[in-house]
Amino acid sequence: MAKLNTNVNVDGVWYGPDSDVPDAVAARISNPKVWDGAPPATPEPTKQGSDEVKEPPRGGPGSSADAWRTFMVAQNFEVPDNATAKDMQAAWDSREK
């Protein structure tokens, strides 16, 4: 299991250097600089009861940039490393349908 070199908050839960970070949580941490050594391999996006990753909420729990990044990547969008959740929401809203 990969270890962090700093504290990270994922959906209101803090993980740090002494924490055991579950694989599902580790997959949502997109900054490679927070890992002690190489970041863990990124698994395929989690499916939620269907063949598609569902669009995250626009605010509140589950609306993080990591959640939006997982969704956008599953939709075959290229996402810049510094994109915020609002940036990704705007890109999603302006896509060709």
Q: Which of 31, 53, 49, 50 is nearest to 40 (CA)?
A: 31
In the block, tokens 């969008």 appear at: 77
pLDDT tens digits, 60-88: 888 899 899 889 888 888 888 899 999 99
pLDDT tens digits, 11-54: 888 989 998 888 878 888 888 899 988 877 765 555 444 457 78
What's the predicted TM-score (pTM) here?
0.48
Under DSSP, the state recorded for 49 is: S
| DSSP for 57-77, written as a single string | PSSSTT-SHHHHHHHHHHTT-
* AA identity, residue 79: V
Strand locations in the chain, DSSP E? Answer: 8-10, 13-15
In the block, tokens 């908050």 appear at: 9
